[in-house]
Amino acid sequence: MEVYEAGDALEWTGLAQTDRALAARLCAGCPVVDECLELELRTAGESTVGVWGALGEDERRELYPHWLRRGERVERGEHA
């Protein structure tokens, strides 16, 4: 697991493939990666920015509607 502090230079490129690789590197080995993703989906939804849960913005925006449907099924008592 890598630890980043204020002032560490992260080289975001704006290119989805490169940013996905950086997100994976930033979050590799993090013990709360699932909780991190869940928090961002719950609080920001489609307005998500940055890296959360080892996923970049585009990946989370794509995941969000599926995550919502899964939550609705769980609330109804169906299997996710």
Alpha carbons 13 and 33: distance in angstroms, whole number? 23
pLDDT, one tens digit per residue, over 25-52 is 888 889 999 999 999 999 999 898 888 8
Q: What is the pLDDT of residue 20?
A: 74
Structure-token match 């993703």, residue found: 37
Q: How many CA atoms lie within 13 A of 8 on its CB side?
A: 7
Could you tell me the residue ranges of all domains in the chain?
Answer: 16-75
Q: What is the pLDDT of residue 4?
A: 53
- pTM beyond cutoff 0.75: no
State yes or no: pLDDT of 1 exceeds 50. no
